[in-house]
Amino acid sequence: MRLVTVASLVTLAAAAPMPAATACGVPPPPHVLAVSDHWTRAGRRTFVVLDEAAPDHARWQRLAPGMFDGTMIADAPRLDAPVAVTLVKNSRGHVELTDRRVYLRAPTYGAIAQVALEVTLGDYESADLALAGRVPDAEWRSLLVQPKADRDAAIAWLAARHLAGSDVRLSKVSNSDLEIVAFSPSVYDWARFAIRRGDDNVGIHRGNALGVLDVDGMRYVLVDVGGARSLERV
């Protein structure tokens, strides 16, 4: 399961094409959704998980009995009308309409049971993430970890900017001129990462960078901070 910051059905229903701009002229980032992917004896089942709690009266059963997957599922009423979600797969956005609502509960202690929408993925497909609404021009750029020699140069680059830390990792953003320099300021602080272009520092962020998303001419980095994920503008 990929756990990401999520949106409710109200947000999904309202998230048609992204608005052209906010009051300050900059469009908001898309709402990132969680993708929960499972293999059962009957085949693959994939869900987009929403930030909406399941009701107390849900009747739970194993999603994949006989498999090493403790996820629980319960039937839910179908939506009155399909809503759009965008699956970012093969690095591109693919819009899907679905009215197949279910309730899901992850197999972790204390997990909150949530509303989810079932979507379709082919047997050989995978979704990097999902977005609320129609975002067909979304393009995902993964991170490519670089060898130790390049990492050593990144350590010197950080030190020159008074950003020294431990556990330094260097990754290139695929099909772009950006790099991610990840580091830990101390064992008592959140991880940090710098985005650099050539020798220039584009920005410092708290958390772990998971990849870069391009949408409608805007570029965002997907950031994980303690399990909470969000898009931040580059």
Tens digit of each residue's pLDDT (9 = 90 or more) over 172-208: 999 999 999 999 987 777 899 999 999 999 999 999 9
Structure tokens at 163: 């950003």
Q: How far apart are CA 90 and CA 75, in angstroms?
A: 30
Q: How far apart are CA 45 and CA 82, in angstroms?
A: 18
Categorize the per-residue pLDDT at 11 as very low, low, confident or very high, splitting at 50, 70 and 90. Answer: very low
Taking 70 as the threshold, does the pLDDT of residue 59 lie above it? Answer: yes
| Strand 114-119 with 43-53, pairing | antiparallel
Instruction: Kindly calculate the radius of gyration of the chain based on its CA atoms and give it in whole angstroms.
Output: 19
Taking 90 as the threshold, does the pLDDT of residue 27 lie above it? Answer: no
Taking 70 as the threshold, does the pLDDT of residue 91 lie above it? Answer: yes
* Cα within 13 Å of Cα(152), Cβ side: 3
Taking 70 as the threshold, does the pLDDT of residue 18 lie above it? Answer: no
Q: How far apart are CA 33 and CA 167, in angstroms?
A: 29
Q: How far, rounded to the nearest angstrom, does the alpha carbon of residue 234 sit from its chain's CA centroid?
A: 16
All structural domains of the chain with their residue ranges:
9-136, 143-233
Taking 60 as the threshold, does the pLDDT of residue 13 lie above it? Answer: no
Give pLDDT tens digits for 95-135. Answer: 999 999 999 998 876 678 999 999 998 776 888 889 999 99
Contact 21, 146 (CB under 8 A): no
